[in-house]
Structures are given as structure tokens and as C-alpha cells.
């Protein structure tokens, strides 16, 4: 197993969210494309999801993540990595852009509660 490069702890989740693409030119308006994806893990700095939609690196999407504890996180994400081992779905990694400290705290609390349930 390789060395972990991420600075924040990831927690496995299984939630579906909708991503709405932001205008590439200024990252200010909606382009109109909305895609549903399956989030597989989350940290206070980003998340990973699977989709059969072909996302491009360095593109931005607006979303609302609703965790299992019903906490809502409104944020913009940037696609920063992708991997596919021949599956129909590709796994994408993204970072949160402009996430509030309050929403990062919600994720940390969710992780603590989730970890305590699994121990």
C-alpha cells in the first residue's frame, strides 16, 4: 500500500448527490448540466464519488451533500483526480472550494460519531 498523501482523514459514506456544473469561463453561472453521483468517502477537505458520467479534471460543480445524520453541506467542488480499472464507473476525487469552517466542523463531528459507532 502506498503512502497516504491526503492531509485529512476520510470516512466511508454511501450517499447520492446532484452536481450542477458551473460556467467554466468565470465559475460564476450555471451551465445547466446536472448529474447524480454516488459519494463513497468524505473528508473536511474533499470527497470521492463514482459515476459513469465523464467529468473533466479542473472543472467545478455546485452541490449540497446530505450526510446520514441529516447535516447539509452546501459547497463547490473541483474535480482533481480520476481513476478507472476497467469498470463502468470511474472514481473521481475532488476538493471543496470555499467550504465554510462550520461545514468542515460538521464533517469532523460526523466522522467522530461514525468512528465511535464502528468501535
**Residue 92 CB-half CA count within 13 A:** 25
Backbone phi, then psi, for 117, in 5-degree steps? -70, -35
3 state SS of 114:
helix
pLDDT at residue 5 tops 90: no
The 8-class DSSP code of residue 98 comes to S
Q: What pLDDT score was predicted for residue 118?
A: 79
Query: pLDDT value at position 8?
Result: 84
- What does pLDDT average to over the chain? 88
pLDDT tens by residue, 16-64: 999 998 865 554 555 567 899 999 999 999 999 999 999 999 999 999 9
pTM: 0.85
| All structural domains of the chain | 11-117 (2.40.10.220)
Q: What is the Cα–Cα distance from 82 to 75, expressed in whole angstroms? A: 20
* Alpha-carbon gap, residue 39 to 57, rounded angstroms: 17
**Is residue 3 over pLDDT 60?**
no
**pLDDT exceeds cutoff 50 at 80:** yes
pLDDT at 39: 97
Predicted local distance difference test score (pLDDT) of residue 1: 42
Q: Is the pLDDT of residue 75 over 90?
A: yes
Amino acid at each position: 500500500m502506498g503512502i497516504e498523501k491526503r492531509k485529512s482523514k476520510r470516512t466511508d459514506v454511501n450517499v447520492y448527490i446532484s452536481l450542477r456544473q458551473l460556467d467554466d469561463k468565470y465559475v460564476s453561472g450555471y451551465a445547466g448540466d446536472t448529474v447524480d453521483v454516488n459519494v463513497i468517502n468524505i473528508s473536511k477537505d474533499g470527497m470521492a464519488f463514482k459515476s459513469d458520467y465523464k467529468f473533466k479534471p479542473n472543472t467545478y460543480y455546485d452541490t449540497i451533500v446530505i450526510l446520514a445524520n441529516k447535516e447539509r453541506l452546501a459547497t463547490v467542488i473541483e474535480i482533481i483526480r480520476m481513476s478507472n480499472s476497467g469498470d463502468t464507473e470511474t472514481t473521481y476525487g475532488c476538493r471543496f472550494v470555499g467550504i465554510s469552517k462550520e461545514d468542515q466542523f460538521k464533517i469532523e463531528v460526523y466522522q467522530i460519531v461514525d468512528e465511535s459507532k464502528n468501535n
